[in-house]
């Protein structure tokens, strides 16, 4: 009986054969067993942009499905993007179905009011296409402030911005921009029919309309967890991801994207004690990296089950499939590609 080689050996064997034709990118929330094989690590958009900058013919994106779609949109002609696990999804992305967003936009703008949709990059290509057709753009957690200013300017004095889908990122960004609560409105979406429920006068008065979605991973963090850490470690500082609730952000010393969190820990002095509110794999990796120099603690052990669907074994499988020609690349419906890519282009232009 023959034994199948270990996944790491299978991965290395394919890499040796494909050489510069292959590049493997991995999101920060991936497990170490996967990330150790990647050429670059980063957040979703950072890695998608790298796809367009590499000459590799084959790009394997270790992350969830919407990330592979964004990478495919920005990839060069002739490049192919692959996902080790196409079923790896995003709970927050699924809170904003494209048909519901289209219905809401149609109803809100029926009276002639300008509404600019601003979608978090953690959304499907279909939702991005809806935003693209309505002069909208996307944003990341790192540039949400810049892009919300852009969207408010694009909407004009009498218009509004519809922020989709993360109500927490939208609210935290609005706080940073000093948008009064009286000018914000959290809309309610009736399941399956995509109706908005607020009164017409409320819609007309609001400058910022917030979709009722959130990240299940960051929703698990609570102010009580921060209080407990501060009690045990009086000198601790707390940094949280802006997908956390405004209550958590208010109790934190800082907040920012995954890249910002990494820099915050890197720049902290030796001996620092830092509590972090984001996905466990990143927190655990930082704790290991700075062990003996800095103490890194999670607010809670919050794991993304969809990110966990990408394994070292599945990475080996997709690489071997690329080698034998049976791998199926990420495809984007041509009817969605142009308007969806427009949202990314608008963001890149606004953030230059």
Of all residues in the chain, the percent with pLDDT exceeding 70 is 95
CATH no. of 218-298: 3.40.50.10800
Is 192's pLDDT higher than 50?
A: no
pLDDT at 194 over 50: no
The reported pLDDT for the residue numbered 102 is 92
* 254-255 sheet: strands from edge to edge: 254-255, 237-240, 273-277, 295-298
Cα–Cα distance measured from residue 42 to residue 32, given in angstroms and rounded to the nearest whole number? 13
The domain covering 7-89+307-331 belongs, at the CATH homologous superfamily level, to NadA-like (3.40.50.10800)
Torsion from C-alpha of 316, 322, 325, 329, nearest 10 degrees: 120
Which pLDDT does position 107 carry in this prediction? 83
Domains 7-89+307-331 and 92-215 equal at CATH topology level: yes
Strands 195-196 and 58-62: unpaired
Q: Can you tell me the distance from the alpha carbon of 90 to that of 198, in angstroms, rounded to the nearest whole number? A: 27
| Least confident range of 38-52, 236-250, 323-337 | 38-52
Mean pLDDT value across residues 95-114: 88
Residue 305 phi/psi, 5-degree rounding, is: -65, -30
Please tell me the CATH code under which domain 92-215 is placed: 3.40.50.10800
- How confident is the model over 220-247, as pLDDT tens digits? 999 999 999 999 999 999 999 999 999 9
Q: Which of the four pLDDT bands, split at 50, 70 and 90, describes residue 202?
A: low
Domains of the chain, residue spans = 7-89+307-331, 92-215, 218-298
pLDDT tens per residue, range 58-67? 999 999 998 8
């Amino acid at each position: 009986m023959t034994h199948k080689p270990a996944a790491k050996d299978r991965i290395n064997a394919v890499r040796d054969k494909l050489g510069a034709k292959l590049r493997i990118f991995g999101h920060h929330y991936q497990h170490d067993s996967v990330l150790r094989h990647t050429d670059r690590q980063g957040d979703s958009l950072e890695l998608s942009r790298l796809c367009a900058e590499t000459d590799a013919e084959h790009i394997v994106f270790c992350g969830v499905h919407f990330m592979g779609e964004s990478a495919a949109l920005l990839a060069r002609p002739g490049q192919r993007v692959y996902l080790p696990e196409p079923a790896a999804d995003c709970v927050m992305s699924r809170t904003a179905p494209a048909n519901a967003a289209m219905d809401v936009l149609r109803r809100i703008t029926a009276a002639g009011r300008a509404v600019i949709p601003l979608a978090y990059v953690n959304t499907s290509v279909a939702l991005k296409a809806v935003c693209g057709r309505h002069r909208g753009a996307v944003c990341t957690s790192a540039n949400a402030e810049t892009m919300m200013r852009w969207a408010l300017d694009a909407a004009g004095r009498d218009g509004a911005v519809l922020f989709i889908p993360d109500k927490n990122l939208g609210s935290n960004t609005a706080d940073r921009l000093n948008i009064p609560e009286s000018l914000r409105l959290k809309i309610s979406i009736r399941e399956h029919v995509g109706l908005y429920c607020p009164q017409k006068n409320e819609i007309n008065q609001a400058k910022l309309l917030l979709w009722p979605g959130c990240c299940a991973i960051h929703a698990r963090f609570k102010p009580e967890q921060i209080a407990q850490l501060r009690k045990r470690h009086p000198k601790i500082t707390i940094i949280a991801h802006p997908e956390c609730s405004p209550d958590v952000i208010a109790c934190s010393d800082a907040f920012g994207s995954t890249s910002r969190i990494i820099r915050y820990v890197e720049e902290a002095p030796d001996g620092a004690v830092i509590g972090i509110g984001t996905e466990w794999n990143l927190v655990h990796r930082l704790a290991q990296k700075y062990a003996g120099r800095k103490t890194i603690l999670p607010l809670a052990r919050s794991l993304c089950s969809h990110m966990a669907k990408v394994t070292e074994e599945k990475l080996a499988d997709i690489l071997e499939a690329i080698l034998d020609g049976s791998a199926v690349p990420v495809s984007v419906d041509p009817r969605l590609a142009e308007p969806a890519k427009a949202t990314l282009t608008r963001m890149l232009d606004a953030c230059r």
